[in-house]
Structure 1
Amino acid sequence: MAFTGKYEVESQENYDAFMKAIGIPAETIEKGRDFKFTTEVVQNGNTFTWSQIYPGHTMTNTFTIGQESDMETMSGKKFKAVVQLEGGKIIVDFGKYKHTSEIVGGKLVETSVAAGNTFTRISKRIA
């Protein structure tokens, strides 16, 4: 169960350009830029509960690899998606962007791509 754990954001690259590309308002981008939120992942076989815990708000997606699941984007948009697991990477198409998560050197590395902009977030394991 490589993904199970609690992670705290350590660094981000290309945050502003990516958020603009997916249509996040400037004031929301400004507020979210320096949030040190945590991500909590519980993996039970092919089923995952993935929570991002922000100050005053938690966003949780529960999904099973290869099955259609109800999902929610960072901006609150709800949709259905089939999450894939390829080469140890969790891959989901959020409509406006494609998101990949993997564990590299004990850290959670998340990469999102939209309109030619690549956003990378690296989080360290804290539990």
Structure 2
Amino acid sequence: MAFTGKYELESQENYEAFLEAIGLLSAKTDHKVVTEVVQDGNNFSWTQSIPNWAWSNTFTIGQECELTTMKGSKFKAFVKMEGGKLSVQFPQYQFIAEMVEDKLVMTCTIPGDKGVVFKRTSKRV
């Protein structure tokens, strides 16, 4: 499935608990998050933004990539595509993104004691 597009936040579950678990509670916001994805084969550019803040990564499926966390830390990881779902292990959580009908659904799972599952659904604009 093609991920390319611009998406606006439609709904989210456990956002505040997720931010608290990764140490970004101060980032709570009521702004509509906009996600822009450009996919060219296995190459991706992925940007999420709100007024006065943006977070962006570029990566290639199946290759080790240097990525940036929401806190600005850099790390290396492999981005996988399995069953139409993008998957990458961030330092604190597992990130999965998929297209469900014409919506971008992102799920971040923090394992262990904190056990938070954050889900964000965005509609194409």
SS at match of 1:16: helix
Structure 1 residue 28: deviation in Å? 2.3
**How far apart, in 1, do the equivalents of 2:47 and 2:117 lie?**
22
1:50 aligned onto 2:46: yes
Instruction: Return 5-14 or 67-76, whichever deviates more.
Output: 67-76
**TM-score, normalised relative to structure 1:** 0.91
Q: RMSD between aligned alpha carbons? A: 1.1
1:123 matches 2:95: no
- Is 2:11 the partner of 1:11? yes
> How many pairs were matched up?
122
Which residue of 97, 100, 103 corresponds with 1:101?
97
Query: d(CA) in 2 for partners of 1:59 and 1:17?
Result: 20
Unpaired runs of 5+ in structure 1? none
Counterpart secondary structure, 1:96: coil
Q: Deviations over 1:16-42 (max 9, x none)?
A: 111111122x3323xx2x120211000
Separation (CA, whole Å) in 1 of partners of 2:33 and 2:26: 18
TM-score (ref. length: structure 2): 0.92
1:88/1:50 Cα in 2 relative to 1: closer, same or farther (>3 Å)? same
Equivalent residue runs for 1:38-117 within 5 Å: 38-114=34-110, 115-117=114-116
User: Among the aligned pairs, what percent are the same residue?
Assistant: 55
